[in-house]
């Protein structure tokens, strides 16, 4: 059993697998939610998404909104000028190239403005139920600290390490569990090392 598998085993003893559901969100909402979540807190992104989707819930409806109104609706997410441009651009590509449907492949999603690898993987996982590990800052930090990857490893290396070490059916659980661990225990400042379910495996805890 490799270290990634040992870490997952410990996490499965701490986090209920039923808590994390793949394919639990409409793909288009997952997409827009990810764009709004960039460089802001989850609660700010959720507030902006709720405001937007009360008025428009698909690409056609969003494109019908006046750009200034769109900016006001998503203001709480921050960087609203840039994000509104991404949303409008993504909606136009979806309409022009994908027949109004959110792309179902990673390659297709990556052609949308404002969409990077993490967003594409989140849409695939939570929107379409396609197993994927979407590496964000929390997962990156956790994997570096525990010692699953080198301290200088980037998101692509972390993704390849996790997906290459685990059966595909565990990817979505691993993604969510490592994410929650980063938020709850392995925080950027003042991590809760002594309470962490991975404390026995963690190189960071041993060093500090």
Name the catalytic one among 3, 71, 92, 136: 136
* Distance in angstroms (rounded) separating the CA atoms of residues 71 and 35: 13
Rounded CA-CA distance 9/197 in Å is 10
18 among known catalytic residues: no
- Exactly one of 83, 92, 97, 118 is catalytic; name it: 118
User: Which structure tokens are listed for 124?
Assistant: 């695939």
Sign, CA dihedral 199-143-163-1, equals negative
Whether 189 is catalytic is no
Both structure tokens of 163: 């997906």
Residue reference for tokens 């659980």: 173
Whole-angstrom Cα distance, residue 134 to residue 155?
A: 9
- Residues with a known catalytic role: 118, 136
């Amino acid at each position: 059993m490799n270290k990634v598998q040992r870490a997952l085993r410990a996490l499965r003893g701490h986090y209920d697998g039923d808590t994390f559901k793949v394919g639990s969100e409409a793909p288009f909402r997952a997409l827009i939610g990810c764009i709004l979540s960039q460089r802001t807190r989850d609660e700010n992104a959720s507030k902006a998404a709720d405001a937007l989707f009360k008025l428009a819930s698909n690409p056609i409806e969003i494109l019908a909104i006046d750009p200034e109104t769109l900016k006001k609706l998503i203001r709480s997410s921050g960087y609203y000028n840039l994000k509104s441009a991404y949303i409008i651009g993504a909606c136009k590509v979806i309409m022009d190239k994908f027949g109004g449907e959110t792309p179902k492949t990673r390659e297709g999603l990556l052609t949308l403005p404002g969409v990077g690898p993490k967003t594409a993987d989140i849409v695939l996982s939570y929107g379409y139920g396609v197993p994927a590990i979407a590496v964000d800052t929390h997962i990156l930090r956790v994997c570096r600290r525990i010692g699953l990857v080198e301290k200088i490893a980037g998101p692509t290396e972390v993704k390849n390490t996790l997906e290459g070490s685990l059966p595909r059916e565990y990817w979505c659980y691993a993604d969510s569990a490592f994410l929650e661990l980063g938020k709850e225990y392995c925080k950027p400042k003042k991590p809760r090392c002594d309470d962490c379910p991975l404390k026995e495996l963690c190189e960071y805890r041993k060093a500090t």
